Amino acid sequence: MLKYIVSFIFPAVLLTSLVRHDGVRQGPATAAVSDTIHFPGETHFANIRQLTFGGDNAEAYFSYDGQYLIYQRTDVKAGIPCDQIWMGRIPKRADEPFVPKLVSTGTGRTTCAFFYPDNKHIIYASTHLGGQECPPVPDRKKYGNRYIWPLYESFDLFKADTNGRIVKRLTKTKGYDAEATISPTGDKIVFTSMRDGDLELYTMDINGKNIKRITFDLGYDGGAWFSPDGKQIIWRASRPKTEAEIAEYKSLLAENLVAPNNMEVWIANVDGSNPRQVTDLKQANWAPNFTPDGKQFLFCSNHEYKRGFPFNMYIADMDGSNIKKISRDKGFDAFPMFSPDGKKIVFCSNRNNGGTRDTNIFIADWVGE
């Protein structure tokens, strides 16, 4: 998805000290900005805990029973040169460690993992059938050092058990297939595919059959999630309008690339009918998903900042009104998700990274109004 924003467009945050997971500050002061796991103004968070330390950890999502997290991780120093999928049980006690295990193949590049409602299986996209090595990243100098995201043709969707054993290959069509999530009702999968020449949303039955295209406008449609009742979807979309925007979009797409710098949040019925844009904030508004009661949605945005960062997290009513900022990191906060019972929130952030570009996973109790 969009985790690579962190590595390529954010400067390192200057810090005064390091904070261990137990909240004890350590190390000498090195700059004028204090690092922390909980910033002033984050009134909806309580008892924040950092679960990962080091590397690039992103897209951490709850299992349907709220007991586990699944996420993708790159950590070159640890011998993980590009994203692989990891899963770990959420600690129940302060002294209990978070101990993740590898559940993808360890080869190729993976992305966008999600639990099945049975809590015994996962879905993710992987390039491993196209080669065991990490596929190459684009030369951003060629594109003015902009954020450019590769659409690897070898990405396909796989179903695996929680021990990492692949039980089914779900897509075989040539071209990018990724960004899948599963309906809480357990009957459908929504995903993004290039199979018809554009980045569109598709649904399929839980067994991989009956694939149906549900978006049709030119532009990038991706990162879709189902509503709690399975009747609606929410996603991010770009809609190039001018001749120059359309030409640039098509030119990049012909090279299996996309520049997802201008996106808004959309909602539609699960069959794609009644699509409606619910944000109009400009810049990049993405990583949306529904609250457990289906009355609001979370999303990530840089719309407050002309220079394109920080990215912070927001919550809004279903029509896009009543937007409230819920995070305050000066670098990157994204991929928010509520636990199924609505009591906890998980997200990924640059906070407390010691001035590096590390992105880590944080979990907190949710404090309502």
Q: What is the DSSP code (8-state) at residue 152?
A: -
46, containing H or E segment: strand 45-50
Rounded to two decimals, the pTM is: 0.91
35: CATH: 2.120.10.30
pLDDT in tens, 320-347: 999 999 999 999 999 999 999 999 999 9
List Cβ neighbours of 329 (8 Å cut-off, separation of 6 or more).
39, 310, 312, 349, 350, 351
CA dist 149 and 243 (Å) reads 22
pLDDT in tens, 22-35: 232 233 333 334 68
Q: What angle is formed at CA 153 by the lines to CA 360 and CA 71, rounded to 5 degrees?
A: 20
State how many domains the chain has: 1
Residue 278 has pLDDT above 50, yes or no: yes
Q: What pLDDT, on a 0 to 100 scale, did the predictor assign at position 34?
A: 64
Q: What pLDDT, on a 0 to 100 scale, did the predictor assign at position 228?
A: 97
With cut-offs at 50, 70 and 90, classify the pLDDT of residue 308: confident
3-state secondary structure of 195: coil
Q: What pLDDT, on a 0 to 100 scale, did the predictor assign at position 271?
A: 98
pLDDT in tens, 129-182: 999 999 999 998 898 888 899 999 999 999 999 999 999 999 999 899 999 999
With cut-offs at 50, 70 and 90, classify the pLDDT of residue 16: very low
With cut-offs at 50, 70 and 90, classify the pLDDT of residue 238: very high
Residue 5 has pLDDT above 60, yes or no: no
Select the more confidently predicted residue: 16 or 205: 205
pLDDT in tens, 61-111: 999 999 999 999 999 999 999 999 999 999 999 999 999 999 999 999 999
Select the more confidently predicted residue: 3 or 320: 320
Q: What pLDDT, on a 0 to 100 scale, did the predictor assign at position 26?
A: 30
The answer to which of 6-15, 42-51, 238-247, 274-283 has the lowest mean pLDDT is: 6-15
Q: What pLDDT, on a 0 to 100 scale, did the predictor assign at position 20?
A: 27
In this structure, what token pair is assigned to residue 250? 């098509």
Mean pLDDT to the nearest integer, 186-204: 98
Asked whether the beta carbons of 311 and 8 are under 8 A apart, the reply is no
Select the more confidently predicted residue: 6 or 246: 246
The answer to which of 137-146, 250-259, 291-300, 346-355 has the lowest mean pLDDT is: 137-146
Select the more confidently predicted residue: 190 or 29: 190
Q: What is the mean pLDDT of the chain?
A: 91
Q: What is the 3-state secondary structure (H, E, C) of 298-364?
A: EEEECCCCCCCCCEEEEEEECCCCCCEECCCCCCEEEEEEECCCCCEEEEEECCCCCCCCCEEEEEE
Residues spanned by the domain of 222: 5-366
Q: Which amino acid is at 126?
A: S
Residue 6 has pLDDT above 80, yes or no: no
Q: What pLDDT, on a 0 to 100 scale, did the predictor assign at position 309?
A: 87
Of the candidates 55, 54, 56, 58, which has an alpha carbon nearest to the alpha carbon of residue 70?
Answer: 58
With cut-offs at 50, 70 and 90, classify the pLDDT of residue 369: confident
pLDDT in tens, 32-60: 346 899 999 999 999 999 999 999 999 99
